[in-house]
Amino acid sequence: MKKFPHAWMHTAVFAAALMVALPLALPSAGSAWAAPGAHGPDGEHLDAPGAAARPDGLTRLPDGSVQVPMASQRLMGVRTVLAQPTQVPQTSELPGRVVLDPNAGARVQSPVAGQIEAGPGGFPVPGQRVRRGELLAYVQHLPDPIGAASLQAQLAELRAAQALAEQRWQRLRGLEGSVPRREIEAAQSELQSLQARQQALAVGQRPRVALRAPVNGVIARAEALAGQVVESRDVLFEIVDPARLWVEASTADVALGQRVAAATLVGVPGVRLELLGTGAAMRDGLLPLLFRARLMPPTAATSPASPATPNPAPTQLPLALGQPVTLIVQRTDTLQGFVLPAEAITRNPANQPVVWIKSGTERYIPQPVQFSALDAATVVVHEGLGTDNRVVVRGAALLAQIR
């Protein structure tokens, strides 16, 4: 009977300790009670660790989708469209480079080996506009020493022979009437022949050769410096018409040239390409295709301040000679797909192309797709989308950055 109060005291102390520890072990008032494997209304795992709350309300859910409040959607400029399938031409992506139009450009080469000298106005610089026949530079002829000595010896012999022939002709002219006429004419003909030979040799001894622009255009490349020694056929200047350039592409498909419907350049807006033709021989296993670059016609937009005066149209192609470019060639054969702006395609952490689909008022899901470029600013998705998908066409890159 003496031990009963002692046991009762131990039980009371244990109960009191349990009541103190129980609130610490239980979830807070705002926590969700869920058994393992429980799911919420949107399919998320309630037993999984939730994403950290952010002041702006943006949340990356465990399944990869994102939760974006309406206010944030407006700030991010998110826009969606309902995907509609359509028939579009198939495309091919080709590497290319900008080349010279042979009918509107020129290469100025040195006709002889010699030393470069500037003209009265100095050397032309890249970007300077020149006119046909304009002086660009001089090439001071530097002949071979042995050849120069031989030329001087021949000229000396011709001068001596010319002097003797002139004396003989003058003497026969003084004896005209007593000597046959044919001897006087023969002496005159010999003198004229020696003079012509001397002049021909003197032309090869010209001190310098003038280099002039063969066409109107702009200096694209200048490789001339004062005192520079060049060889014959060295290219010193290249002249181009900036409004007339060609693009040369290459492909391993020999039949592609017969199926080209249109072509554009990636990253070069406002330029369209017209197919000129395809090569008849392959180079390094590739067939060349030639396109003429054209400026697209300007839009009818006018300035608000002066509605009657349209914006001035550019007159120069935004291309440079030798520039590497990428062509999107549309073919005559077609396929069915969903046409979207190129900015609708983003990449997931696995580097797969995805589009963002709106599945609720504030929820967006990344959907892996397969696509091909339709032109420089548009793509066609041919796998991964359905007709009931509302796709993000603006602001997709910002959704992909939510973490």
**Inside any domain, residue 25:** no
175 & 252 share domain = no
357 & 265 share domain = yes
Give 34's pLDDT tier (boundaries 50, 70, 90): very low
Q: Which domain holds residue 255?
A: 57-103+244-296+320-402
pLDDT number for residue 52? 52
Return the residue matching tokens 């000597």: 179
Query: SS3 for 7?
Result: helix
Write the single-letter amino acid at 283: R
Query: SS3 for 77?
Result: coil
394 & 249 share domain = yes
Give 397's pLDDT tier (boundaries 50, 70, 90): very high
Q: Copy the structure tokens of residue 196.
A: 């012509």
Q: Can you give the CATH number for the domain in which 280 is found?
A: 2.40.420.20
139 pLDDT higher than 70: yes
Range of weakest confidence among 4-8, 29-33, 224-228, 365-369? 29-33
260 & 334 share domain = yes
pLDDT in tens, 263-317: 999 989 889 999 999 988 988 889 999 999 999 876 543 344 444 445 555 578 9
217 & 257 share domain = no
pLDDT number for residue 225? 92
Q: Copy the structure tokens of residue 208.
A: 């310098």
pLDDT number for residue 54? 65
**Inside any domain, residue 359:** yes
190 & 212 share domain = no
355 & 397 share domain = yes
Q: Can you give the CATH number for the domain in which 216 is found?
A: 2.40.50.100
**Inside any domain, residue 89:** yes
229 pLDDT higher than 60: yes
**Inside any domain, residue 95:** yes
Q: Can you give the CATH number for the domain in which 156 is found?
A: 1.10.287
397 & 252 share domain = yes
For the chain, the domain total comes to: 3
246 pLDDT higher than 70: yes
Return the residue matching tokens 């067939």: 287
The average confidence (pLDDT) of the chain is 81
Q: Copy the structure tokens of residue 178.
A: 């007593």
Range of weakest confidence among 52-66, 93-107, 228-242, 345-359? 52-66
**Inside any domain, residue 29:** no
133 & 172 share domain = no
102 pLDDT higher than 80: yes
Give 181's pLDDT tier (boundaries 50, 70, 90): confident
183 pLDDT higher than 90: no
Give 31's pLDDT tier (boundaries 50, 70, 90): very low
Report CA torsion sign: 253, 254, 257, 260: negative
pLDDT number for residue 41? 39
Final residue of a structural domain among 222, 240, 258: 240
227 & 285 share domain = no
Residue 356 and residue 394: Cα distance in Å, rounded?
10
Angle made by CA atoms 161, 165, 166, in degrees to the nearest 5: 120
77 & 93 share domain = yes
pLDDT in tens, 344-381: 999 998 999 999 999 988 999 999 999 998 887 899 99
Task: List 283's β-bridge partners, or say none.
Answer: 286
Q: What is the pTM of this model?
A: 0.63
107 pLDDT higher than 50: yes
pLDDT number for residue 339? 93
